[in-house]
Amino acid sequence: MAVFSPEDLKWLQDRINRTMDEFRKTDLESSPEFKKVQDQWSRLMEDFRSTALGRDTSIPLADLLETDEALIVRMDLPGVQKEDVELVVSEDLLKLTAKRSIEPERDADLLKGERNVTFRREMTLPVTVMGDEARAKLKDGVLEIALPKEVVTSKKRITIE
Report pLDDT digits (tens) over 144-157. 999 999 887 767 78
Mean pLDDT of 37-57: 65
> How far is it, in rounded angstroms, from Cα 66 to Cα 70?
6
Contact 78, 58 (CB under 8 A): no
Mean pLDDT of 18-36: 71
pLDDT at res. 27: 67
* Topology of the domain covering 58-151: Immunoglobulin-like (2.60.40)
pTM over 0.95: no
pLDDT at res. 1: 44
Mean pLDDT of 9-24: 76
| DSSP classification of residue 77 | -
Contact 102, 79 (CB under 8 A): yes
Mean pLDDT of 6-19: 77
**pLDDT > 60? residue 21:** yes
Q: What are 144's strand-pairing partners? A: 74, 137
Q: Is 118 helix (H, G, I), strand (E, B) or coil?
A: strand
Q: Is 20 helix (H, G, I), strand (E, B) or coil?
A: helix
Mean pLDDT over the full length of the chain? 82
To the nearest whole percent, how much of the chain has pLDDT over 90?
35
C-alpha distances out from residue 46 to 25, 43, 58, Å: 22, 5, 9
> How far is it, in rounded angstroms, from Cα 67 to Cα 150?
13
pLDDT single digits (tens) 77-97 = 999 999 999 999 988 889 999
Q: Which residues contact 133 (CB under 8 A, 6 or more apart)?
A: 148
**pLDDT > 60? residue 50:** no
Residue 20, φ and ψ in degrees, nearest 5: -65, -40
pLDDT single digits (tens) 93-146 = 899 999 988 777 777 777 776 678 888 888 889 899 999 999 999 999 999 999
